[in-house]
Amino acid sequence: MIDIKNLDHFVLTVKDLNKTVEFYTKALGMQKEVFKGSRIALKFGNSKINLHELGKEFEPKAFNVKEGSADLCFIIDTSLEEAKKHLSSLNIELEQDIIKRTGALGEIESIYLRDPDKNLIELSNYIKV
């Protein structure tokens, strides 16, 4: 049996590296990291997103590479109301306003938005009981 500890990183395939970096750093507060000379990642908490440019992916890669096919949920320390204000100040529209969902550790409240490649981004807070 394999005992998984946590997710270290995942890969997003994107059309425009600069637009993606700008969105995730300005809208979501992630930090840009350049590694191995020219590879780009977005760091947050103890994890990161490695970015692959569509048509210039690194090997090995996903079988069916396509931009806009991810559906990601991030637990945030910021309240959803504050997150909504911040996103609004950047003219980023919500896909869906606050709604209850279920996260890995219990009930969450979430808002949804799209990144530049139309990936679905869910920002969530755990509901304190």
Count of all residues that appear for the chain in the document? 129
Give the model's confidence band at 109: pLDDT under 50 very low, under 70 low, under 90 confident, else very high: very high
Domains of the chain listed by start with CATH number = 9-126 (3.10.180.10)
What residue ranges in 1-129 does DSSP mark as E strands? 9-14, 31-35, 39-44, 47-53, 71-75, 94-103, 106-114, 120-126
Average pLDDT over residues 20-25: 98
The mean predicted confidence, pLDDT, of the chain is 96
**42-99, pLDDT tens digit by residue?**
999 999 999 999 999 989 999 999 999 999 999 999 999 999 999 999 999 999 999 9
The pTM of the full predicted model, rounded to 2 decimals, is 0.94
Average pLDDT over residues 97-112: 97
Residue 28 phi, psi (nearest 5)? -115, 0
* CA 2 to mean position of chain CA atoms: 26
Catalytically annotated residues: 122
How far apart (Å, rounded) are the C-alpha atoms in residues 99 and 78?
16
